[in-house]
A and B are shown apart, each in its own frame.
Chain A
Amino acid sequence: MAVTTSAPTEALLARARAVASTVTDPELPMLTLADLGVLRDVAVDAAGRVEVAITPTYSGCPAMATMRDDLVRRLTDEGFDAVTVRVELDPAWTTDWITERGRAALRDAGISAPGPAPRHDGPVALDLGPVRRAVACPRCGSSEVELTSEFGSTSCKALYRCRACLEPFDHVKEI
């Protein structure tokens, strides 16, 4: 972790944070990496070098390389010459880190936001019953919805259908 000592560095850090916070997720472009909880840390050292930490949403998330590129490109465009992006695996990402603003952005885009993530501290209990979630249709607000598939168009989404307005929609699943 870089140590921030002088006032100019503080200002630089604030600017680097602001820039990094504007980078969006390539698969959920309505969300910034900050709102998604993927952006874990931004640090600037005395020489002005920026180090950004990100965490993968899923082990096989194919968007990580693009996120890294986008962060480097955006920061470089804003005048930061030395930018490195490191991966932070611990603690593992959880949908609980999606901010309120992020949840609102998801709903505005027609995607249902996740509920509280299950806790897996001890052995994981097996549940063979129907999936129980309080999900409302992001279009018409009806809670008369049905799960089509627990695995949707990307790793992080389940597929639902609204029985009221008949529209299909994505739900970001709790993890």
Chain B
Amino acid sequence: MAEIHTPGADAHGNAFDGLLVNDANWAFGSGQEFDGRDDPLAGVDTTVPDGVDAADLAQYCVMLADDALIYSHRLAEWCSNAPDLEEDLAIANVALDLLGQARLLLVRAAAADPSIVPARPEGSPVPAEDALAFFRGDREFRNVRLAEVPNGDFAELVARMLVLSTARLALFERLRTSRDAVVAAIAAKGVKELAYHREFAGRWFLTLARGTDESRARLEGALAGVLRLESELFETHPVEQRMAEAGVGVDPASTADEVAVVLSQVFAVSGLDRPQVDPLAGLAGRKGRHGAHTEALSRLLAEMQVVAREHPSGRW
């Protein structure tokens, strides 16, 4: 007679039971960390500096966070798709660094101005940074459009990471002296990480440019596409302007020269002329920082947010 296997009646019980007994060895911790103590800024003084508009500071942090969050998601899409395992790991590592930066910045934003955090159901365990990541609509995101456009081939990854990490590094170098101590600390740590990201992208840029005719042609094509969205990185939003004047933020326009110099060094070593391209227009002058995005962001968010939205009181 065939035996019918019922999991509950199995003498061995649930195969995963053992994992839950020995908390200390369980890769995801004991589960206790999700009871509200898992605050990445626990005990950090988040007082808004004198004379700084809290709403502006929050919005500014959201801009910096969204660039990292959205590009991190694009990088995460590379998982298992890179040319080899080493590159797969490297891309995932870069994505993790950016996700960490985004999380710290979103927590800082919510601490400065709690009113920006989307409403959660009564008793919801969702922390503020998750609410900001998963419960905002596409027009509430403030990332530049270069962070959101769909992935291309490996050459596109390299060209985009070179431009984005160079620009973010230039910004973070200056943010280390922000009057907001939290932003300054996040930037000081971020500089170390972004320096590795930029070198990873820069070395691969050189490799592809000096590789085969095929790799070089692909890189040139990818670079032309990426550069259409480059100038947007240096356009100053009124919030960025005000935060720069308050000594908290950095006017991105002030980083344009340094970024151009670094990129021209990479192009020169690669024996490649900077392609002349027309910038991608905005929507009546409004671009990513204003919440005017490409269609690609909506699709990205649909995937990124679906589980959290299906379970607004879920515990992770």
Contact = CB atoms under 8 A, between A and B. Distances in A.
Interface in B226-285: 258, 262, 265-266, 269
A87 B33 contact: no
Interface in B11-60: 24, 29-30, 32-34, 37-44
B97 interface: yes
B101 A59 contact: yes
Contacts, number: 138
B100 to A, nearest CB: 3
Nearest to B182: A89
Contacts of B99: 60
B198 interface: yes
Interface string B191-230: 1110110111011001000000000000000000000000
Interface in B72-108: 86-87, 89-90, 92-94, 96-101, 103-104
Interface string A120-156: 1011101110000000000000000000111111010
Interface in A60-79: 60-62, 64-66, 68-70, 72-73
Interface residues on B, range: 35 or more
> Which among A64, A70, A120, A151 has the highest number of chain B CB atoms within 10 Å?
A151
12 contacts: A51-B43, A59-B101, A59-B186, A61-B100, A68-B42, A69-B32, A87-B40, A89-B182, A90-B184, A123-B170, A128-B269, A151-B93
Interface of A: 26, 51, 53, 56, 58-62, 64-66, 68-70, 72-73, 84-94, 118, 120, 122-124, 126-128, 148-153, 155, 159, 173, 175
Interface of B: 24, 29-30, 32-34, 37-44, 86-87, 89-90, 92-94, 96-101, 103-104, 169-170, 173, 181-182, 184-186, 188-193, 195-196, 198-200, 202-203, 206, 258, 262, 265-266, 269
